[in-house]
Structure 1
Amino acid sequence: MVAKKGGATRGGGGAATMSEDSVEELTRVPLQAILLADSFATKFRPITLERPKVLLPLVNVPMIDYTLSWLESAGVEEVFVFCCAHAKQVIEHLDSSQWFKQPNFTVTTIESNNSAGAGDALRLIYEQNVIRGDFVLVSGDTISNMPLSEALKEHRERRKKDNNAIMTMVVRQSKPSPVTRQSRLGTDELFMAIDPETKQLLYYEERADNGTVSIDKTVISDHPSMYIHNDKQDCYIDICAPEVLSTFADNFDYQHLRRHFLKGLLDDDIMGYKIFTHEIHASYAARIDNFRSYDTVSKDIIQRWTYPLVPDVQLFGNTATKLERRGMYRGSGVGLSRSAQIGPFTVVGSGTTVGTHSEISNSVVGKSCKIGENVSIDGSYIWHDVTIEDGCVIKNALVCDGVIIKSGVILEPGVVLSYKVVVGQNFVVPAYSKVSLYQQPIKQDSDEELEYADNSSGTMDISSLSSLSDKLNETTSRLSELQLQSASEVGNGGVGLIWSTSEGSHEEEWRHSVAPIPADKLEILYTSNDELEVLHQDGNVPPPEEMERDSVASDSSEDIKDEFQTFEKEVFATFERAVLENHKDDNVILEVNSLRLSFNLDASDCAGPLFYSIMKWALTMGHSSPSELVKNVASLLTKWQKVLKYYMPSIDEEIEVIMKFEEMCMESAKEYSQLFLQILHLLYDKDIVQEEAILNWASEKENADESDKVLLKQAESLIQWLKEASEEEDEDED
């Protein structure tokens, strides 16, 4: 044994001993990760018939690059990328990227051509004998900026005490809509039972039948402290012990990570393996499971929730775009006509040109696109090398590489155009249509089956159509028949096939689409929603508010405050979408009602957060002077007055709004501190707050400390005028 330089000596012999740090360094295993570069799902068809999901551009960067960048920044040293469907494309992308050249960060690909699920993938990796300790398990469609240190520390400390603690799942707060029973990512409502003391996961169920959760009575008796959640999001980031791989090797019926493996371990009394949770709060983590989560995560990236994984930071070897006013990002060499209008929260990739009088808002446009004159693009995703001719209207759609959209075309909400599709002149593509050069598979695969088509170029070569048929074991038309059918389905001169929607799957189309859920569908779900019933095998488990105090999370005032702050943020996010996507008043009210129900709040609790959202948004509109800021506020109050007044049925809510404004002036939005009188007068003039509310607020402030009377003194002239007017009115009545 070699002594550590400068180490301590023992006894009179003076023999040097190695410190604990040195021993640990010698025995330390590099932190490893397994990245699954195959989704084993079909939710992104027809796009993923031609390109793997992990290479689809997310705000103009392939998804897998976000995942690898996060793993590197979080301290992972070795990543094993498992490739199956379109494996050649994934390997070629990694070969041409920077990932094989990073210091202290190795990427190794493992290829398989016959794995039908995550279980097969993990069994193959187990056989390779490359994992030497605890590892991170993640899919290549996961976006995160969370540090791993705390979760790893918890996992390792548990392992020292209990070898059966083989996995730690990362979760975060995500209240589902009581209307759709889905999260903002479009995933089904998730029910978890967690021990609040140990954080052990006791139960896991997605979209419980009829809102019923069945928990074994032995689980309840063994864990008197249990909290049943439907407000957690599974981030699909797992810290695993090596036993996880051996468990898959021993159970060949385990294919899906959650439906089979997770539930299998929770139901297995023999092995005694345990799963724990680690909840993140300030960090971001989300998995792109469907088109709706693709839309949601894209917006989160643009709005910088994922920092430093944002468009204006140069990452992954990609050229950063420049962040401009109001959240607009512009790549190099963009050619904008002087009359073109680029709205907020929009990304325009390098080399793209935009013609006269065209408008792009709340969208992502890729590289080298050609957009003609008088084109309107709103809430959409236009990938690379797309041509959009004059007079087209595109709203809440997704358009893949190489697509040509002829003049006068309208893409209705929810449309997906796969690679190199051509839409004929003046054609209207119906809402939620999926258009591809590939014929729709005759047999609908389950979401665990492979997408067998493999085309390494990433786009369809018409001449290889018969080869594609062999791979899919499907019957396809001859080339001439395909061309004729394509022309008839997407207009004169068009090339593409419109896929049909199978019976019973219409709801899934709008649940998982990039387009907002239609108001009529929301209303139907809202009126037909049933109350949640939680059951176990012997009877009812009472809701959390009726359980013993030690069996639920703390109900302290601090927790309630944090909960309301979360609600306030959600209301702002809802209002932000309403402004950017020009939602109708009734639809906004419906969405806010859904939020308040999920937080178990009253309608009266919404006035303050909604007013806060309006005032906060006014600050983002840009202003060169205080008077311009007041104009911003006035225009927003005029537009959203009906929505705000809906939640202000009494004087109490009006006073709440004044107090919320007072709080903003003193704390979160001090730009308003010198404008308190002007905007309070504006609220009065627009009948948002009445004379009685202002006078009652002033009366309540009379006994306050002098430091709390700053804004009261600023409003003295208005208060005095209201008092005199009130007295004159009383005299006239007498």
Structure 2
Amino acid sequence: MRIEYNGEILEFNSPVSGNSPVLELLLTPCVTLYQFICHNRSVFTVDMEFQPIIMAAGPGSRLAELTSKCPKAALLIGNRPMVWYPINMLEKAGFEEAIIIVDMDGQAEIQRVLTESCSVKLHLEYVTVSNTDDGTADVLREIKSKIKTDLLIIPCDLITDISLHNIANLHRTHDASLTMLLSSLPSQFYESVAPGARSKKPLEKDFFGFDEKRERILFTQSEADVAENISVKKSIFKKHPYMCVKSGLTDCHLYLMKKWVVDYLVENESLAYIRTELVPHLVRKQFSKTKVKDRLPQTNQSVISENQKMDILKFSTEDEYAADIRDLSSWNDHHGDMADCYHGDKIRCYGYIQEGGLCLRTNTVSSYSEANRQIQKIFTHTGIETPHLHPSVVLQKKSQVGADCVVAEGTEIGEKVSIKRSVIGRNCKIGDHVQIVNSTLLDNVIVEDGCDIKGSIISRKSVIHQKCEITNCLVGPGQQLNTMGKYKDEMIVYTVDI
């Protein structure tokens, strides 16, 4: 089927029959052509409709014990660097290039691990930030000259099997200013106790208020900011009398964002962080109106000399056809009144809720450890084919390595060794009669004879001497643990040169 609009030819492969969406489009005036086109797009345009930006400069404050000698983005999950998972997601979606934000000290290490441990087809433009203490919104201001189109912002610690086309289609359909990915965090990722901790930390919750379709975000508040009651303006209830409030969702820090938002950030330097400052700001500004003083002509001031800060509504721009199509259509996003589509709101924020599948952030010791324990499940969900034993692994007789494990190249495993639900890094040496369960060993770790390691993380170049018992511990880089030592619920992190 071919449709011509403003000189452009649009083609659809859907047959016109019975209950086809094309027939519904032709017969039902309540669906706009613009939305139909958006919902039926399955590829990203070659001319970079969205410009991917991977945030990989953060110091990893909640992974500090693991990142003292290694940038967060280079930490290994299933023997692949953390940042590789969002890169792989972009490649599968059809992107050919992306900007990756790194700090000056971490760039070389990130490039090294990506080159050594996996194949990357995506062209990566590394951009270094001058100050690692800058917030994510500060970073967007710093790289504003490189931003040419709307943005797709992804954190380096996100692992998900979501199809990016689904969230992009929601963004396109409503010509949204901001669309964010939300997900219910699997219970095992927040119920497990982190290695080195004696008790689990309480989960930080956010409250999201949605419209009746559970798509548009009407308000957002963190649990820490809520005393007893959640307050919502009456004006919002007048527009949206049916509201759904959800508290079990995790903000995955994946955002689709209009380019004009960056232009607004450049003029408003008070906003430093995307999640905690920019997102709530945009959600609130959805319901603001142009100020009277901005609508009145400046009689005592020339246009040339005017230098006042512009209101956010003057930055927001719409798709060139979207407004015209909505005016011609009888479609509306709500019912119960005769108000214009979206109640005339120029700024619109949406949330795509991933109900099933895999979606998690490895930004804490607990989630990082659990991701490695469940690495084979992650590989299955994300379509990654990796043998659980690398062909170069030396495995002595009567040793067992479970199918839910991953052992990297160059590792030597002694006799009568048992390894279950664990990840073993490159060039590790494991002695005889060793048991390793629910644990992660990073590269170049030495485990001598008779050791028992459970629920722990052993960082690179550490040496575990004979008959050590380690339970629920985090061992930092380059540590030496004593012969016959017994360690439980400990953070073993001392400053050493490795």
TM-score over 0.5 for the pair: yes
**1:171 aligned partner:** 182
Asked if 1:125 is matched to 2:136, the reply is no
The residue type paired with residue 224 of structure 1 is P
Alignment of 1:162-311 (within 5 A): 165-174=176-185, 187-197=203-213, 199-208=215-224, 212-218=228-234, 219-268=236-285, 269=288, 271=312, 273-304=347-378, 306-310=380-384
Q: Which residue of 2 aligns with 1:422?
A: 480
Counterpart of 1:144 (choices 156, 160, 165) is 160
- Name which of 346, 350, 359 aligns with 2:405: 346
Please give the alpha-carbon distance, in whole angstroms, between the structure 2 residues aligned to 1:181 and 1:210.
Answer: 26
Between structures 1 and 2, the one with greater helix share: 1
Pick the aligned partner of 1:135 from 151, 159, 162: 151
Following superposition, the deviation at residue 193 of structure 1 comes to 1.1
Q: Which amino acid aligns with 2:74?
A: L
CA distance in 2, matches of 1:135, 1:365: 37
Distance in 2 (CA, whole Å) between partners of 1:349 and 1:101 is: 18
Q: Which structure 2 residues correspond to residues 600-611 of structure 1 after superposition, within 5 A? A: none
Q: 1:28 to 1:347 in 2, by over 3 A?
A: closer
The whole-number CA distance in structure 1 between the counterparts of 2:113 and 2:351 is 32
Please state how far the C-alpha of 1:371 moved relative to its aligned partner.
0.8
Judging changes above 3 Å, is the alpha-carbon distance between structure 1 residues 185 and 20 closer, same or farther for their aligned structure 2 residues?
A: farther
Q: CA distance change for structure 1 residues 109 and 282 in 2, over 3 Å: closer, same or farther?
A: same
1:108 Cα shift? 0.7
**Is 1:39 the equivalent of 2:97?**
no
Contact 2:411/2:428 (CA < 8 Å) preserved in 1?
Answer: yes
TM-score under structure 1 length normalisation: 0.50
Q: Is the 8 A contact 1:416 1:432 kept in 2?
A: yes
Counterpart residue identity of residue 108, structure 2 = Q
Hey, what's the Cα distance between the residues in 2 that align with 1:185 and 1:133? 40
1:108 aligns with 2:91: no
The answer on 1:355 being equivalent to 2:372 is: no
**Cα contact 1:254–1:260 (8 A) shared by 2:** yes
1:100-158 Cα distance to aligned partner (Å, 9 max, x none): 973xx4321111221422122111121x2x22222210011111222222221221221
Give the AA of the match of 1:61. R
User: Given the superposition, is the C-alpha separation of residues 69 and 335 from structure 1 closer, same or farther in structure 2, using an over 3 Å criterion?
Assistant: same
Instruction: Please name the residue that 1:330 is paired with.
Output: 389
Structure with more strand by fraction: 2
Match of 1:431 in 2: 489
Greater Rg over alpha carbons, structure: 1
**Displacement of 1:300 after TM fit?**
4.1
Distance between the aligned counterparts of 1:382 and 1:181, measured in 2? 19
Local SS of the residue matching 1:296: helix
- Partner of 2:438 in structure 1? 379
For the residues of structure 2 that align with 1:307 and 1:136, how far apart are their CA atoms?
A: 22
For the 8 Å contact 2:158–2:359, the answer to whether it is kept is: yes
Q: CA distance change for structure 1 residues 78 and 175 in 2, over 3 Å: closer, same or farther?
A: closer
Stretches of structure 1 lacking an aligned partner (at least 5 in a row): 1-6, 9-16, 160-164, 314-319, 322-328, 439-459, 462-734
C-alpha displacement at 1:199, in angstroms?
1.3
- Tell me by how many angstroms 1:237 deviates: 1.4
Q: CA deviation at 1:97?
A: 6.3
What's the offset of the Cα at 1:304? 4.3
SS for the counterpart of 1:231 is: strand
Distance 2:150 2:277 in 1: 21
Report if the CA contact (8 A) 2:177-2:257 is conserved: yes
How far off its partner does 1:258 sit?
1.4
Q: How far is 1:299 from its partner?
A: 3.9
Distance 1:345 1:257, change over 3 A: same
Decide whether the 8 Å contact of 1:351 with 1:368 is kept in 2.
yes
1, 7, 20: which one pairs with 2:9?
20
- C-alpha distance in 1 between matches for 2:422 and 2:272: 37
Amino acid of the structure 1 residue aligned with 2:220:
Y
User: Do 1:384 and 1:400's aligned partners in 2 also have CA atoms closer than 8 Å?
Assistant: yes
Provide structure 2 residue ranges, at least 5 long, that are not aligned to the other structure: 12-36, 38-43, 194-199, 290-311, 314-346
* Cα pair distance change 1:111/1:174, threshold 3 Å: closer
Distance in structure 1 (CA, Å) of the matches to 2:45 and 2:394 = 56
Return the alpha-carbon distance in structure 2 between the equivalents of residues 392 and 95 of structure 1.
32
Q: Which amino acid aligns with 2:433?
A: N
Give the Cα–Cα distance (whole angstroms) in 1 for the partners of residues 60 and 455 of structure 2: 23
> Distance in 2 between the 1:158 and 1:145 partners?
24
Whether contact under 8 Å (1:416, 1:433) holds in the other structure is: yes
Q: Secondary structure at the match of 1:292?
A: helix
Give the match's secondary structure for 1:373. Answer: coil
Counterpart residue type for residue 45 of structure 1: A
Where does residue 71 of structure 2 map in the other structure?
52
SS in 1 for 2:143: helix
Residue 202 to residue 297, structure 1, CA distance change in 2 (3 Å)? farther
The alpha carbon displacement at 1:201 in A equals 1.0
Is the 8 Å Cα contact of residues 171 and 279 (structure 1) preserved in structure 2?
yes
Q: Indicate conservation of the 8 Å contact 2:71/2:110, yes or no.
A: no
Distance 1:302 1:409, change over 3 A: same
Equivalent pairs, count: 400
> Secondary structure in 2 aligned to 1:367?
coil
The answer as to whether partners of 1:284 and 1:306 remain within 8 angstroms in 2 is: no
Query: More relative contact order in 1 or in 2 (CA 8 Å, sep 6+)?
Result: 2
The alpha carbon displacement at 1:96 in A equals 3.8
Q: 1:283 to 1:134 in 2, by over 3 A?
A: farther
Q: Secondary structure at the match of 1:20?
A: strand
2:255 aligned counterpart, secondary structure:
strand
TM-align CA RMSD: 3.5
Of 445, 448, 453, the match for 1:389: 448
Distance apart, 1:34 and its partner CA:
0.6
Q: Following the alignment from structure 2 to structure 1, what is the Cα–Cα distance between the partners of residues 410 and 136?
A: 39
In 2: Cα distance, 1:402 partner to 1:356 partner: 22
Q: 1:27 to 1:78 in 2, by over 3 A?
A: closer
8 A Cα contact 1:334 1:350, kept in partner: yes
Following superposition, the deviation at residue 306 of structure 1 comes to 5.0
Give the deviation of 1:181 after TM superposition. Answer: 12
Q: Equivalent residue of 1:196, what SS? A: coil
Flag the 1:247–1:97 CA change in 2: closer, same or farther, 3 A.
Answer: farther
Q: One-letter code of the match for 1:20?
A: I
Q: 1:187 to 1:121 in 2, by over 3 A?
A: farther
Q: How much has 1:221 moved relative to structure 2?
A: 3.6
**Letter matched to residue 450 of structure 2:** G
Aligned sequence identity (%): 21
Matching residue of 2:326: none
